[in-house]
Structure 1
Amino acid sequence: MSTGPNRIMDEFAKLMTDAAGAAQGVRKEMETAFHSQAERWLNSMDLVKREEFEAVREMAIKARDENDALLRRIEALEAKLAEKGA
């Protein structure tokens, strides 16, 4: 069993270890509270998530490409009709 200055140092080290653990717990709690509040705030702003935005963006690109292809087909058909009519 330690006595004297060693015991005081052991107790101090134990106290510091406990304080560090408590500080870590408080930090984790604060992070959780912050994230919850930030999520509530973002939800109230009616924002979309990045994944949803990317999915809709890809759909729009595909629709634009299909529209361009259809426009080219229509122009080709109109050109054929003009040739036959001339």
Structure 2
Amino acid sequence: MNQGPNKIFDEFAKLMTDAAGVAQGARKELESAVKSQGERWISQMDLVQRDEFEAVKEMASKARLENEELRAEIEALKTQFKSPAKPVAKAKPTAKTKSAPKKSAKTTAAGK
């Protein structure tokens, strides 16, 4: 009779071990399905990768810096243009004289 309860506990322990193995397998299957669905969902969202993001971020930073430098240069040119340090003399248009029409070789030969 001593074997009876011990055998029941052994069978129960074996059943629990099998149930834990089934639960572990179900957990792995669920993880795999969720991961697959998540990857599919993310790929449909058209997200950028980190390295692409960093490259665009660096390009934007350089463009912003260049923009600030150009803005400062424009402001310097504006102040230079507004301050009448030395007025630049405008060149006067020269009157064009009409030159006498050139005589062709035929008219000079006929006139002789």
Identity among equivalent positions (%) equals 56
Q: Which residue of 2 aligns with 1:6?
A: 6
Q: Which residue of 1 aligns with 2:45?
A: 45
Which of the pair has more CA radius of gyration?
Answer: 2
Residue by residue over 1:19-42, the C-alpha shift from the partner in whole angstroms, topping out at 9 and shown as x without a partner, is 112211211111111111221122
Give 1:73's aligned amino acid.
Answer: E
Larger relative helix fraction: 1
C-alpha distance 85-12 of structure 1, shift in aligned 2 (>3 A)? farther
- RMSD (CA atoms): 2.6
Aligned length: 84
Counterpart secondary structure, 2:47: coil
Could you tell me which runs of 5 or more consecutive residues in structure 1 were left unpaired when the two chains were aligned: none
Q: Which residue of 2 aligns with 1:67?
A: 67
Could you tell me which runs of 5 or more consecutive residues in structure 2 were left unpaired when the two chains were aligned: 88-112
TM-score of the two chains, using structure 2 as the length reference:
0.57
Counterpart secondary structure, 1:4: helix
User: Is 1:19 the equivalent of 2:3?
Assistant: no
